[in-house]
Amino acid sequence: MDVFEAIYNRHSQGKVKPDQLPRQLIEKLLDSAVQAPNHYKVRPWRFVVLTGEGRNRLGDVMAASQQERHPEFPPEAFDKCRALPLRAPVFIAVGVDKPSEAKVLEIENICAAAAAIQNLLLAAHATGLGAKWRTSEWARDAKVKEFLGFESDQHIIGFIYIGYPEFAAEPAPRPSFEDRTVWVE
Ligand SMILES: Cc1cc2nc3c(=O)[nH]c(=O)nc-3n(C[C@H](O)[C@H](O)[C@H](O)COP(=O)(O)O)c2cc1C
């Protein structure tokens, strides 16, 4: 697929089929992700890939975390939490390394990891998959971070849900670059 075709036609796909993806396909997406630019070659992206039962384990952690913070919530609220990672057969959490040298800036590491996610989304689209980049409060949840193996001060910048599309995504028109651009000639 032509790169422009992929960029223009990629749309978030929140609804995907439960069918599992071959591991080889997931690896292809990750390999596309790590082709992203990154300063000082630090490769600051960290991926935690959850499939199958792994997603249930994360759901249990989310539900327990919510129950601890909001014991007054009805049981249905915790069930809803528990089901969140099950929205797609593949759930990839993307974290960012903290800089280990003074010259490396955290903001640049975040930029690189975000570029890796966009690569992954475009690769997913070009492969005929549906994907959606989410974060929500769970990306900042201490128990979720711990479960995923991230430090408490490490950023999680995305939870990427991937699967075979249930239906073709509605192409929502995107605003022009014009009101966000200044030309200096
Ligand atoms: C860092 C980041 C976090 C996001 N978090 C969420 C989220 O938690 N829930 C959501 O519905 N969309 C979230 N989005 C937006 C969607 O990924 C998507 O970009 C948006 O719905 C526009 O649709 P499109 O990708 O088809 O252009 C997030 C986007 C980014 C870049």
Summarised one tens digit per residue, pLDDT across range 15-55 is 999 999 999 999 999 999 999 999 999 999 999 999 999 99
Task: For ligand 1, atom 26, name the residue with the nearest CA.
Answer: 11
Residue 33's SS3 state is: helix
Report which of residues 96 and 168 the model is more confident about.
96
24 CB under 6 A from ligand 1? Answer: no
Atom of ligand 1 nearest to the CA of 117: 31
Q: How far apart are CA 185 and CA 182, in angstroms?
A: 10
Whether the pLDDT of residue 169 is over 80: the answer is no
Residue 169's SS3 state is: coil
